[in-house]
Amino acid sequence: MRWLLVTSLLLIPFLSACTEQADGQPAKPASTPKHLVELVAVIRDTIRTSSVYTGSLRARRSVRIFTQEEGRITSLPFYEGDGVAKDQIVLELDDRLLKAQMIKATVTRRQAETNLERLTRLRKQNLISEDDYIRGDTILQVAAAEESVLRTRIGYTRVAAPFAGVVTYRGAEPGDFVERNSHVLTIADPSSLIAELMVSEMVLPHVLVGDPVEVQIDALGTSKFAGRVLRTHPELDARTRQGRVEVELQPIPDRARAGQFARVRFQIEAFDRIVIPFAALRRDRDGEFVYRVGGEQVATRVAVRSGGVLPIGWRSRRDLLPEIRSSLKDS
């Protein structure tokens, strides 16, 4: 059993040399007075505390719609805040030029088919060379490929919503001419709203997927909402030593919006911690330390590194410690 001094040691120096009495006889050495101190046992306990971290709400599922063809916008019916259904057309471009090219490609492909049929009959009669037949077949394949490319490009002039959601960005208007790869719309799924926050590396090992949490959204008042840990990202920020955590709201509160400020409370359980009274912890220019009392009732200074301070009113399951405590890591 290890014991710690709770009160600070009072060391009163005394001269070790002897003095003479008035009669010339050497005086008896002065005895060191005893000093009463309070001792407390060091224990290991399972500490369960809560930590609050702040972050923002965001839609986990969103898509930015870019144009894959250039052209003039003929239809862009939705504005920010409008809801769209899955597979609903949200963008249309002028496709008249591409359709004209498609007609030309179709005619070319049909002509190549007719020509190949003629070459096939001549080949059976051994009236043409094999090279002439292969050339005719190649022309047909190229024409068919060109027709397929144009059909695909025409399909790019009509863009459908990949899922049901809400328009959060509109970057053009009907009549505008847009280049390829122009960002026109953003659609977000409001049912995928999550809280995203950065959590300390000391807390992350105790945050598991599926753990229940408590979420407070400042814009919605003081109400507390239930949530659970959806995922923890595998990498930490090398500068802040924090990792990204995503929290799913269950269910999503009314009037919750992406970008709102959120506070998330985690219930953290740190197993097998050394726990001592806060009053036993000392600090000086060399760092933190405690006094440990050995079997011969001799106090020894021991360097330590402190952890979190537990709140007043916290009780050990063994009920051996005072109310104000500090959890220590082994030095």
Instruction: Quote the number of domains for the chain.
Output: 3
- Domain containing residue 252: CATH number: 2.40.30.170
Cα 313 to Cα 291: distance, rounded to the nearest angstrom = 25
pLDDT in the model for residue 280 = 85
The answer to whether residues 178 and 230 belong to one domain is: no
- Domain containing residue 183: CATH number: 2.40.50.100
- Domain containing residue 129: CATH number: 1.10.287
pLDDT in the model for residue 284 = 92
The answer to whether residues 4 and 82 belong to one domain is: no
The answer to whether residues 119 and 178 belong to one domain is: no
The answer to whether residues 142 and 200 belong to one domain is: no
The answer to whether residues 84 and 183 belong to one domain is: yes
Residue 53 is classified by DSSP as: E
Residue 291: is it exposed, middle or buried by C-beta count within 10 angstroms (0-12/13-18/19+)? buried
Full domain range(s) for residue 150: 95-156
pLDDT in the model for residue 9 = 40
The answer to whether residues 171 and 137 belong to one domain is: no
One digit per residue, the tens of pLDDT, for the chain of length 331 reads 555 655 444 333 333 334 445 555 555 555 555 666 778 878 777 766 778 999 999 999 999 999 999 999 999 999 999 999 999 999 999 999 999 999 999 999 999 999 999 999 999 999 999 999 999 999 999 999 999 999 999 999 999 999 999 999 999 999 999 999 999 999 999 999 999 999 999 888 889 999 999 999 999 999 999 999 999 999 999 999 999 999 999 999 999 999 999 999 998 765 567 788 888 888 999 899 998 887 777 888 989 888 666 655 555 544 444 433 444 444 3
**First and final CA of the chain: distance in angstroms?**
17
Residue 29 is classified by DSSP as: P
pLDDT in the model for residue 157 = 97
pLDDT in the model for residue 100 = 97
The answer to whether residues 198 and 264 belong to one domain is: yes
Q: Which amino acid is at 229?
A: V
Token pair listed for 60 = 């986990």
The answer to whether residues 177 and 199 belong to one domain is: no
pLDDT in the model for residue 271 = 59
Residue 204 is classified by DSSP as: G
Contact 247, 225 (CB under 8 A): no
Listed residue (131, 88, 140) closest to 113, CA to CA: 140
- Residue partners of 318: CB distance under 8 A and separation at least 6: 43, 45
Q: CA 319 from chain center: how many Å?
A: 38
Residue 272: is it exposed, middle or buried by C-beta count within 10 angstroms (0-12/13-18/19+)? exposed
The answer to whether residues 220 and 72 belong to one domain is: no
pLDDT in the model for residue 203 = 86
The answer to whether residues 242 and 319 belong to one domain is: yes
The answer to whether residues 152 and 173 belong to one domain is: no
The answer to whether residues 181 and 212 belong to one domain is: no
> How distant, in Å, are the alpha carbons of 54, 187, 215, 225, 230 from that of 60?
17, 11, 17, 18, 11
